[in-house]
Amino acid sequence: VSASFELLGAATGNCLRVAIALEEAGLSYTSRSIDLRAGEHHSDNFRKLNPACKVPVLIERNESQPDFVLAQSNAIMLHVARRGPGSLLPDPETAEYAIALERFFYVVTDVIAPNHASFFLRSEQDRSAAAALEQKSMAALEFIERYLTDTPFIAGSTFTLADICAFTMVSRNQTKLGWRRLPNLKRWFDKVSDRPGVLRGCRAF
Ligand SMILES: N[C@@H](CCC(=O)N[C@@H](CS)C(=O)NCC(=O)O)C(=O)O
């Protein structure tokens, strides 16, 4: 494929997950920083790309076709997984694929979503609701220990989108986790932290 990719974003979890996915998929891309503090995501130019005024946004350029623009980090990750060449999900015809989606959506809905909601509630000064959701998110993150009992990665024998999502959350919350109870998670985290694609993706913005 002769497509070229541009990722617009900032140093946030949603954007770094997409950058890591692009790296691990072996796709070449350029990253463009959007200055959220300066409100660049509300500019007319950015609004044309994503009327929701949020990052990340991926632009895919193919010869003789109009640019393809995609928002929503999870949709972008699934799209990137299809574009390959590197594999981020097992063959869709297999049970392993369904398991990889199970674990990917587990992290997205049970770990990341309550974490974002907690962040929002804290900004609204609702401290006890924020703390309750934060605790729920951290408990769901620690639960991943059980997915790593017999396999090197969260969905089995290969690195998938589920690992990317969990990695950014573990990385951000290292001081909040009860590491003594989490030997599998620790082994997994140390190994994933050393992957060249993960290291490069973390430096995208
Ligand atoms: N569900 C969206 C969330 C996107 C999102 O909230 N992006 C944040 C940065 S991580 C943002 O653009 N915030 C600026 C704002 O909302 O004003 C996704 O996964 O892409």
Residue 1 pLDDT class (50, 70, 90 cuts): low
With pLDDT > 90 as the criterion, what percentage of the chain qualifies? 97
* Ligand 1 atom at minimum distance from 34 CA: 12
pTM: 0.97
Mean pLDDT of 26-35: 97
Q: How far is the CA of 54 from the centre of ligand 1 (A)?
A: 5
SS3 of 90, please? coil
Kindly state if the Cβ of 54 falls inside 6 Å of ligand 1. Answer: yes
Q: Which two structure tokens, joined as six digits, stand for 204? A: 């995208």
Read off the pLDDT of residues 119-146 as tens digits, 9 standing for 90 and up. 999 999 999 999 999 999 999 999 999 9
- How far is it, in rounded angstroms, from Cα 131 to Cα 114? 10
Pick from 7, 12, 14 the residue to mutate for probing ligand 1's pocket: most ligand atoms within 8 Å of its CB: 14
* Ligand 1 atom at minimum distance from 12 CA: 10
- E strands within the chain? 4-9, 29-33, 57-61, 68-71
Mean pLDDT of 108-117: 98
**Number of Cβ atoms within 10 Å of the Cβ of 109:** 12
Mean pLDDT of 74-100: 96
Read off the pLDDT of residues 91-102 as tens digits, 9 standing for 90 and up. 999 999 999 999
